[in-house]
Amino acid sequence: MERDLSGDACCTGRSRRNFLASAGTAALAAGVGPGTLGPVLAATPDQPDSAAPAKLRPFDMADVDLAESPFLHAQRMTEAYLLRLQPDRMLHNFRVNAGLKPKAPVYGGWESEPTWEDINCHGHTLGHYLSACALAWRSTHDRRFKQRVDYIAAELAECQKASGTGLVCAFPKGPALVAAHIRGERISGVPWYTLHKVFAGLRDGALLADSTTAREVLIRLADWAVVATRPMSDEQFEAMLNTEHGGMNEVLADLYFMTGNADYRTLAQRFSHKAILEPLSHERDHLDGLHANTQIPKIIGFERVHEATGDAAYRKAASFFWQTVAHTRSFATGGHGDWEHFFPMAEFDAHVFSAKGSETCCQHNMLKLTRALFLQDPRADYADYYERTLYNGILASQDPDSGMVTYFQGARPGYMKLYHTPEDSFWCCTGTGMENHVKYRDSIYFHDASTLYVNLFIPSTVRWADQGATLAQTTAFPETPSTSLRWTLKRPTDLTLKLRHPRWSRTATVLVNGTQVARSTNPSSYVALTRTWRDGDQVELRLEMHAAIDRAPAAPDIVAFIYGPLVFAGALGRDGLTPGADIVVNERKYGSYNDTPFAPPVLAGDPETIAGSVRPGDKPLEFVIAAADRQPVRLIPYYRVAHERYATYWKLGSADA
Ligand SMILES: [Zn+2]
């Protein structure tokens, strides 16, 4: 979350506190993006004519089951955390602002503590929590999640009734702060950023948890926004957008799809930041120095506004942004940025080893954008990025033991992952983290009328009701580079099955019922199998995983090790790290927690050939590599690193050093 009051994000020299001041940005962006809502929206009878029809549709998460895997474990950990949290504590300041007596004490961290009073993000957690409970309900049909959505929606309706306005918020002096922001006064905080989380949570409650109360509260809130901003000139509006405002354009476009009310579409366009839209729509990368997570939710909104208006400039901006961030600005893990900001890639060596690289919200939001673009333009390139970031950014972000999640996932050699506390942090990444792990099933499979796409190799089953078909995927991936799929069909059925041939595999071989039927030597594509499928037909996809390196063009001697889609980190032990010391309150102090001196191993060799020095280790998905100054280094998947020092990037010494 960005904090500079000017809203001008180019401030790499500024302190972390300053960054945080401005904007409520995007760090918090909500978890259910256009993609997640796609199927629900597409089924809405009043979908306006101007909507650009998506090429693909996702499956309803209720039609996908996860089998045992690290993903299902992560989901269960988040479910437990969601059920531990108390809605009345998150509602505390919403009731205060509405003149009602709170029912329970407020939570700590960003929700109330003076350390973060400059960002004024009180209440953002409730929005994420609504989204997360709606996602968890859709994924599991555990009624406790729906009850929480319905309860919170009813409480917010009560706040609207008591205050006599549609505005529901929890930051101090809420209505006055928003009014001052709209008048163009200098304020402390990021009201639209925080409100976007509430908007998005209500949207998800309405669409995923079928909460009519959430829908009613959302429409009152949106109508308040329409009226409150109507007097603003375009110039005043654009000036306001210099302050972080999350994905307000996205959620307003969604509201247009939900209701057909053109006021919301107009407001979605007004909330589209022209200073960002204009250069991107001309394929100009002006991102150096900009606060990353302030921008990504705007871009997701650009894509959504394109779908609502048909205006090609929005689509061009969204796809160009994705291209430049995913292909030229990302680390091997799919993350990006240093101190939350995009940096000039020519200065890669000065930023890569930061303890404050790769804010996890940015990966959350890049996946939302990736998914939205993939639905419109189903290229394997999008799915490749999705897989890489899902393993190395999202799955990697959760402590498998506590269920808490990271803020930064930096590459300072020998540093460690730090996770939030259950009740005293409530960072932006806590919020997006609540959503990340209860929606894994939303991006494994996609379909059009007669084609089923298999994008991810995660043990799971998908039911395709329209075709009377069920496809079960059994796999030990990534421990083995293959996956098996089995059809259950009511009758012989003509369908196309599209299997992703990932970028990281030189070949893809497909067998049907034990006989080879296709072999692809074209990585980052799909193998299409069109045939009459019969009940019990068995499909096997065989891939190849190789040790390789990933590096930035500007720093060819700084490498990360990869194997298939996975980043392999040096596992560097627990010296100086006491149990529990990686659960921390304050995300601004990343880099100073557990800051005991530590000398990481030195790896030496030629970057062109060093991947050949990687040797198999004792267990599956473990490798070793010789160090120049000590015993060999154990390499393990970065997503498995927890409670341990690690290195993901290495500056190679010369072999004779
Ligand atoms: Zn964040």
CA atoms of 209 and 217, how far apart (whole Å):
14
- In this structure, the strands spanning 515-520 and 583-584 are unpaired
Q: What is the mean pLDDT of the chain?
A: 92
Model pTM score: 0.93
**Distance of CA 603 from the midpoint of ligand 1 (Å):** 32
**Distance of CA 58 from the midpoint of ligand 1 (Å):** 26
What's residue 54's pLDDT? 79
**Distance of CA 568 from the midpoint of ligand 1 (Å):** 24
**Distance of CA 451 from the midpoint of ligand 1 (Å):** 36
**Distance of CA 105 from the midpoint of ligand 1 (Å):** 24
Does residue 308 contact residue 257 with C-beta atoms inside 8 Å? yes
Q: Per-residue pLDDT tens for 214-238?
A: 999 999 999 999 999 999 999 999 9
pLDDT at position 380 over 80: yes
Instruction: Provide the terminal-to-terminal Cα distance of the chain, rounded to the nearest Å.
Output: 42
Task: Give 280's pLDDT tier (boundaries 50, 70, 90).
Answer: very high
Does residue 344 contact residue 396 with C-beta atoms inside 8 Å? no
Task: Give 1's pLDDT tier (boundaries 50, 70, 90).
Answer: low
Task: Give 656's pLDDT tier (boundaries 50, 70, 90).
Answer: low
Q: Per-residue pLDDT tens for 405-456?
A: 999 999 999 999 999 999 999 999 999 999 999 999 999 999 999 999 999 9
**Distance of CA 360 from the midpoint of ligand 1 (Å):** 6
Q: Which residues contact 541 (CB under 8 A, 6 or more apart)?
A: 454, 457, 482, 483, 484, 485, 499, 508, 509, 510, 527
**Distance of CA 601 from the midpoint of ligand 1 (Å):** 30
Per-residue CA distances from 105 to 47, 101, 123 (Å): 42, 11, 14
**Distance of CA 364 from the midpoint of ligand 1 (Å):** 9
Does residue 469 contact residue 486 with C-beta atoms inside 8 Å? no
Q: In the predicted model, what is the mean pLDDT of residues 96-107?
A: 98
